[in-house]
Chains A and B, each alone.
Chain A
Amino acid sequence: MNKPITRRSFLKVTGLTIAVSMTPHGYKLVNASEQKGASSFKPNLWFEITPDNKITISVGNSEMGQGVRTALPMIIADELEADWKQLKIVQGPAADPFKNPVIGAQVTVASASVRGFYEPLRKAGAAGRAVLIKAAAETWKVPEGECTALKGAVTHKKSNRTLSYGQLCLKAAALELPKNPPLKKEEQFRYMGKSMPRVDIPDKVSGKAIFGLDVNVPDMLYGAIARPPAYGAKHISFDQNAAEAVKGVRKVVPTPNGIAVIAESITAAWNGRDALKVQWDKGSHPDMSTESIEKAYAGDLDKPGAVVVNKGDAKKAIEDAPKKVEATYFVPFVAHATMEPMNCTAYVQSDRCDIWVPTQGQTGTLMTASKLTGLAPDKVHVHTTLIGCGLGRRARVDFVIDAVTASKAVGKPVKVVWTREEDLKYDAYRAATCQRIQAGLHPTGRIGGVSHKVACTSILKFTNPAAIRNGIDIYSLWGIFDWPYTPGYPLVFNHTNYDFPNWHLEQVLSDLPIPAAPWRSVQNAPNAFVMECFMDELAHAAGKDPVEFRLEHLGNNMRAKRVLQTAAEKAGWGKAMPKGKGRGIAQHACFGSYVAQVADVSVNEKDGKIKVDRIVVAVDCGPVINPDPIIAQMEGGAIESLSTALKEQIEFANGGVKSSNFDDYRILSMSEIPEFEVHIVKSKEKIGGIGEVGVPPTAPAVANAVFNATGARIRRLPMTPETVLAAMKKT
Chain B
Amino acid sequence: MISLNVNGKKYEVDVSDDVPLLWVLRDHLKLTGTKYSCGIGECGSCTVHIDGKSARSCTIPVKDVQGKKITTIEGLPETHPVKKAWVEEQVVQCGYCQPGVMMQVAGLLSESRNPDPEKIINAMDDVICRCGTHPRIKKGIRKAVQIMRREVKGS
Contact = CB atoms under 8 A, between A and B. Distances in A.
B45 A201 contact: no
A479 to B, nearest CB: 20
Given A205-B87, A211-B96, A661 B40 contact: yes
A65 B125 contact: no
B73 interface: yes
A637 interface: yes
Interface string B85-96: 011001011111
A204 B98 contact: yes
Interface stretch (B49-57, B132-140, B146-154): B132-140
Contacts of B32: 207, 210, 213-214, 216
A669 interface: yes
A259 interface: no
Given A205-B83, A266-B23, A667 B95 contact: no
Given A337-B130, A636-B133, A65 B72 contact: no
B93 A66 contact: yes
A680 to B, nearest CB: 16
Contacts of A667: 128, 130
A638 B40 CA distance: 27
A386 B33 CA distance: 13
Task: Give the most central of B19, B42, B72, B99: most A CB within 10 Å.
Answer: B42
A213 B74 contact: no
Contact of A669 (B83, B96, B128): B128
B2 interface: no
Nearest to A639: B132
Nearest to A197: B90
B93 A340 contact: no
Given A65-B131, A662-B43, A670-B137, A341 B36 contact: yes
A312 B132 CA distance: 43
Nearest to B100: A339
Interface string B109-147: 000000000001100111111111111111000000000
A661 B37 CA distance: 10
B136 A635 contact: yes
A661 B131 contact: no
A389 interface: yes
Given A201-B95, A207-B72, A670-B137, A389 B131 contact: yes
27 contacts: A65-B92, A65-B94, A65-B131, A66-B93, A204-B98, A205-B87, A210-B32, A267-B16, A338-B94, A338-B130, A339-B94, A339-B130, A340-B35, A341-B37, A386-B95, A388-B95, A389-B131, A628-B90, A636-B131, A640-B130, A661-B40, A661-B42, A667-B130, A670-B124, A670-B134, A673-B135, A675-B135
Interface of B: 16, 19-20, 23, 26-27, 30-40, 42-43, 45, 72-74, 76, 78, 83, 86-87, 90, 92-99, 102, 120-121, 124-138
